Structure 1
Amino acid sequence: MARGARRSSVSGPRPDGAATRASLLEAAGPVFAEHGFDRATAKEIALRAGANAAAVNYHFGGIAPLYAEVLAEAHRRLVNYQALARAASVDTDPKDRLRRLIGLLVRVVRSQGDASWPARLIARELVSPTPHFERLRREELEPKRALVFGVIAEIMGVSTDHPLVAQAALSIMAPCFMLLIAEKRLSEVMPPLGRGHVSNERLAARLAAFALGGIAQLASGEGEA
């Protein structure tokens, strides 16, 4: 009986590895957002996840691969590729598609509160890139950039690799980037930008009007120096 009982304890169900891995990802996000990649520790992440201290190495092969995975997950939560693709393909008029894309981006960045670790982590990475930015660029930024560039190029009647497309995209993305990293400070310095003064819909419509006006000038050659 004793021997059989010992066999039963050894061959019993193992802890759910997938659940532990998911818990580590969720715990790592806030830790990386708060401390940054350089100061975050596997010990703190495992503690917050309620996991063994060696779990980070076991499930991810170390804190660096975990950070790369969390960084990609943060961007997926902020800007989902499928949501962007739907916004870019709903209407035949590319101008309407651009308006919808800008509306989506404004809603996303303004929906992030101070406690949102994906927004804080992405903002930190964009301001102070780590060696793991390359994976983020390749897996998350590049496919989403291609969608936006495709719509802009269609409006301008040029190829997606035309320099004007990237220049127009900069004027579209810059306000969203500023809202992502410093919305609270911006609304303090410029109160009309605060959520209590302008809705997501109105702000997006005005940014779209500005973007489309600039694109029209660039496309006509009037914006050339």
Structure 2
Amino acid sequence: MAEDFAAKMSRKTVAELRDYVDNRYQYREEAVLAALAELERRGTPEPAAATITQELQISQQETSQREQAARDREAEQELARRRARGQEAPEVEETGPALYSPGTITVFSVLFSMVAGGILLALNLRTLRRYGPSWLVIGFVIAYLALTHYSMQWVQQQYGNQYFWLGSVFNIVAIVLYNVVFWPRYIGLKPYRSRPWGGALLICGLISLLYAILYVRFGLGAV
């Protein structure tokens, strides 16, 4: 617990407070600042208080940086000792917004379609409040889906069903674009927590089931 210097200085005499100020390099900056504040409160302010306060604040920042560097070195040494003993490093707390990972986006694009992966990517961007890029991804999905549809129709009319596998190629190209263009450009190396994908899997599964039922009942063609 941090020491309550204000309470400590309130119990000092004026002479003791002056000693903190006059011999300030022997004490912690927080203690001297509290002594200056206490002198001001008692109506006997230090004449050079403004200059001393500015000096102490700069010194305080330098002290904090040195102490933080010492803590970092100690943490690194402790980690090295744990590794030397064959112990696992302590888990690092995950920070950042909850996003669907590139792996999740890829798996959903393979299992369902590039539409599913694009929706997950757009949801990530909305979580980051990047609404413009999220609409760009949705526009890309719609345009790419239309391009795939009409391209496959043309191929089917020209060559029959022997090149039906090209649909998978279109899907793979979209997955690559998600991972090497959209994610690096609009999300980048931002730290994030992996978002649970169970709910998304359930929704995609139900949509796929509904589509299969409609396909069987009404003979709907592939999109």
- TM-score, with normalisation over the residues of structure 2? 0.28
